[in-house]
């Protein structure tokens, strides 16, 4: 991707966030994990691993995203978000983040998601374009959920994916997850006003992903 296109995408992202600050309407397929029996762990890869994002390495986001993202990653760490890079043959090729609620009371995370005590939400997953379609996205989310369960003592993890994002829904299936329900959220000025479960599923991920549109590979 060329620099002009990167800058254009960043500008569009800023405009989108300004609009969402006023009114945000989201319809998502939500995957719910309560323990490791809820998904099939993928085999380890000798050439690929997850690396915690920390104050001494967050700048490495420039290996797969524009330099303008460095400030965003610094802010995420300052806000207490938990992040992991995907490292492949020594190079960072992607990342994924999570917000957890370790406290005793419920809270709203990322404008629309209510998290109870010891619950977490994964978000902002991205793989560099040249590495998409090769299983890295599935490996990333599969490993991240396992880490959250084992190291952060969570009793529930939510992975929400836009209903139109067919690529990411296919990735979730490859990662061993099954959709739990479809939900609609409405927020105004970053305040959640409406949330409703529109449909519940048993083992029907195909229904939830059977829509037009979608961009690979992101969890939002």
- Closest listed residue to residue 115, CA positions, set 154, 161, 152: 154
Identify the architecture of domain 21-209 in CATH. 3-Layer(aba) Sandwich (3.40)
pTM of the model: 0.80
Model pLDDT, residue 17: 66
**Helical axes 166-174 vs 136-151, angle rounded to 10°:** 60
Which tokens go with 42? 């993928």
CA-CA distance, 196 to 211, in Å (whole number)? 20
What does the pLDDT look like over 167-183, one tens digit per residue?
999 999 899 999 999 99
Model pLDDT, residue 18: 64
DSSP string, 140-156: HHHHHHHHHHHHS--SE
Which tokens go with 164? 């139109």
For the chain, which residues score pLDDT lower than 70?
Answer: 1-4, 6, 14, 16-21, 203-220
What are the domain boundaries of the chain? 21-209
């Amino acid at each position: 991707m060329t620099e002009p296109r990167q800058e254009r995408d960043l500008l569009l992202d800023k405009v989108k966030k300004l609009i969402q600050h006023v009114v945000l309407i989201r319809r998502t397929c939500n995957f719910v994990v309560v323990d490791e029996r809820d998904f099939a762990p993928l085999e380890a890869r000798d050439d690929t691993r997850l690396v915690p994002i920390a104050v001494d390495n967050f700048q490495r986001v420039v290996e797969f995203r524009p330099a303008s993202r460095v400030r965003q990653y610094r802010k995420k760490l300052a806000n207490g978000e938990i992040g992991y890079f995907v490292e492949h043959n020594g190079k960072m090729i992607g990342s994924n983040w999570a917000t957890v609620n370790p406290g005793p009371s419920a809270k709203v995370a990322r404008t629309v998601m209510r998290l109870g005590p010891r619950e977490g939400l994964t978000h902002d997953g991205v793989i560099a374009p040249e590495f998409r379609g090769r299983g890295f996205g599935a490996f990333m989310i599969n490993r991240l959920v396992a880490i959250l369960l084992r190291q952060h003592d969570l009793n529930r993890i939510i992975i929400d994916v836009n209903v139109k994002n067919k690529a990411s829904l296919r990735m979730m299936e490859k990662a061993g997850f099954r959709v739990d329900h479809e939900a609609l959220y409405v927020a105004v000025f970053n305040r959640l006003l409406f949330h409703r479960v529109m449909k519940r599923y048993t083992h029907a991920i195909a229904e939830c992903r059977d829509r037009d549109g979608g961009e690979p590979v992101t969890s939002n």
